[in-house]
Chains A and B, each alone.
Chain A
Amino acid sequence: MVKIHIDKKPIDVEEGTTVLKAAETAGISIPHLCYHDAFPPEGSCRMCLVEIEGLPKLELACSTQVRDGMKVFTKSEKVVEARKGVLEFLLAEHPLDCPICDKAGDCKLQDYYDEYGLFESQFRESKEKREKKDKIGKSLIHDEERCILCRRCVRFLREITETQELGVFERGIHSRVNIYDLTPVDNNYSGNLAQICPVGAITDEDFRFKTRSWFLKKGESICPLCSRGCSITIEYHPGFSHFGVPSRVYRIQSRENQEVNGFWICDMGRYGYSYLSENRLDKIVINNKEWNIQPTWEDVSYFINQQLKKLDEGKKTSQTVLILNTWLSNEELFLIHKIFKNDQNLERIFFADRPQAEKDDFLLTAERTPNKKGALEMGFDMKPANPGALSDKTDLLLAFGSFLAEQISAADLKKALEKIETKVLFTSHENELNSLFDIVLPTALIPEKGGSLTNIDGKIQKFSPVFEPPGDSLPEWMMLADLGRKFGINSSFYGEFKTPETIAKEIENEVPFFREQK
């Protein structure tokens, strides 16, 4: 530990820390553009200049390590003037096209000009014309005029993906970042480039001109598209209701989580957000002609309860089938285990999930099952659902999710389901599968409910609702806790479960794995 003073504030930091990080721990922010926590310091933007007592010139905060007794000044006259000068040089060739720049609002150069610049331009010469719209990758557009040559993108491709598609060409004022020999940036992590670019030089084609970043509301969530469970920020627009424009997710950004995904997410998770708003089911669908009213959850839960009670004890365990999936949270799987396995003694519990798919050797896993580990630890044996599983006599089928259609062909499924008397489906989307069931209940997706998922490495990650589920959709845990209460075997036990947190506490009491992880 060394003792240093930053702006006369004494702080103790580990030896080897940089001045920039030390200042951050003390709550003093030093402006920086090229420095990123994921890479070693580069020192090319010169924004982080600070004054250090005893040294003749200003030093770079991002690459200077602390020494015992160091006295750093981040707001002294010299520093403020130097920052202004650096900004002026950075902006000398930077176009003033913030109105059409997708980075505006998130742009660090914009923020720093507001905070430390606010000067009139002294340049009388016109700015250089460069390539404004250069498609350098799958979904990346490069604007050479906006680039400040911080080389974050080059370093990302060199150090993180190790694919090295970008480089800096030519020298001096002609320096520019570009691809080699027209070979585009084509890896599963290219979307991160648009996110780490401190200015709008690399922007995302997917987000291009869609909206402005300051309209977006942000919420923290977890990506459920593979079993890694990367931390993400979902950015959505609540919609202009009076112009008939509905709420919509505009982009997904990665969120720092050193234990799981570092700073990055893969492109599949970044661009695969359409499922959140497309084809959503928003009201209860009844395909049984005996029902001539539009039922509420109350009616349906009463109906399920009656159906289950109708079957006598011996039949109930063998003639009721439950099909689950791993998009269900730990809390929901726990409730299902409690209600259907412990209370009702059901034996025929199957899982229908997305099939395995391509993986890479960084974050993306082959398993497209966000909570497989959680389901296994909860005590499910995870038998896959197949036509054979449904071939025995079945009176009641409760299925969760639409992944059944991905595992069993439509014809087989139709044949298997025809013989079943009562079929209830809990799903979040409109699907061909839905017409085969008597009752289809709309459910909430991960960003619309609270709970936790256990990722492939056994890390339990909590998530909370970012936005409201559409229409009459309800989170599964709410419906399950209600079913538990209605079945009446242990009503007071399920009555406790008013929030996912209360369920999580009970899981810790009962399941050793979850207790240990805590």
Chain B
Amino acid sequence: MIKALGYFIEIIRGIVITSRHFFVNMFFHILKVLGIKTKRKGAVTIQYPEQKKEIAARHRSLHRLMAREDGKPRCVACMLCVTVCPSECIYVEAAEDPDLEMQKYPSKFIIDIGRCCFCGFCVEACPEDAIRMDSGEIDFAGYTRDDLVYDLDKLLR
């Protein structure tokens, strides 16, 4: 009996919290409609994924590999990103480019997004500005772990 009473108290507390948020937000929205400027704004629900919030300029989103004018990756497979990566999620295999100016290019460039912690060290380490995290893509869930392993074709754009 006393236990059941406990449930009711919690339900009432929940209703109080929800209503407080509702009325406080309502109050700020009414002030906005009346043209009164306040420091605090009323909360707005964004209808994700139909509606998307703008991503901040320095937000670290999905990696992309930059291409040269001729479409080849800028990356020279120096493996500094592999070296600096704290979660060991990058794997690069280098190959010989017949173009003497280039010499070295990545024949394999794999990022395991499932391991990545989005620290952005790879972007900072890159001497060629070949990897960036500014694609703006933030929804890359997959059904298997392999779906999250991105290779050169997926990363280069």
Contacts and interface: CB of A to CB of B under 8 A. Distances in A.
**B is bound to A:** yes
Contact of B96 (A98, A209, A212): A209
B128 A99 contact: yes
Contacts of A97: 103
B91 A240 contact: yes
Interface string A177-209: 000000000000000000000000000000011
Interface in B86-123: 88, 91, 94-96, 100, 103-104, 110, 112, 115
A133 interface: yes
Interface string B124-155: 00011000000000000000000000000000
Contact of B115 (A133, A212, A242): A242
Interface residues on B, range: 20 to 34
A432 to B, nearest CB: 32
Contacts of A132: 100, 103
A242 B148 CA distance: 13
Interface stretch (B7-15, B22-30, B41-49, B71-79): B71-79
Contacts of B80: 99
B19 interface: no
A100 B99 CA distance: 13
B50 to A, nearest CB: 36
Nearest to B110: A243
Nearest to B91: A243
Contacts, number: 42
A212 B83 CA distance: 9
B115 A208 contact: no
Interface string A317-328: 000000000000
Contacts of A245: 91
A215 interface: yes
A209 B91 contact: no
Contact of A210 (B78, B88, B94, B110): B94
A240 B83 contact: no
B115 A100 contact: no
B94 A209 contact: yes
Contacts of B95: 209
A212 B125 CA distance: 15
Most chain A beta-carbon contacts within 10 A, residue among B94, B96, B110: B94
A504 B19 CA distance: 83
A516 to B, nearest CB: 50
Interface string A195-239: 000000000000011111011000000000000000000000000
A215 B83 contact: yes
Most chain B beta-carbon contacts within 10 A, residue among A97, A208, A242: A242
A133 B103 contact: yes
Nearest to B101: A132
Most chain A beta-carbon contacts within 10 A, residue among B82, B103, B128: B103
B88 A240 contact: yes
Given A99-B76, A215-B83, A208 B96 contact: yes
A208 B104 CA distance: 10
Nearest to B127: A99
Nearest to B89: A242
A242 B83 contact: no
B88 A209 contact: no
Nearest to B149: A243
Interface in A88-124: 97-100, 104
Most chain A beta-carbon contacts within 10 A, residue among B79, B88, B96: B79
B131 to A, nearest CB: 13
Nearest to B77: A209
Most chain A beta-carbon contacts within 10 A, residue among B78, B82, B100: B78
Nearest to B80: A99
A100 B112 contact: no
A97 B102 CA distance: 10
B104 A100 contact: yes
Given A99-B128, A100-B77, 12 more contacts: A98-B78, A100-B78, A100-B104, A132-B100, A133-B100, A208-B96, A209-B104, A212-B78, A212-B79, A212-B83, A214-B83, A215-B82
Interface of B: 76-80, 82-83, 88, 91, 94-96, 100, 103-104, 110, 112, 115, 127-128
28 contacts: A98-B78, A99-B76, A99-B127, A100-B78, A100-B103, A100-B104, A104-B78, A132-B100, A133-B100, A208-B96, A209-B94, A209-B95, A209-B96, A211-B79, A212-B82, A212-B83, A214-B83, A215-B79, A215-B82, A215-B83, A240-B88, A240-B91, A242-B88, A242-B112, A242-B115, A243-B91, A243-B112, A245-B91
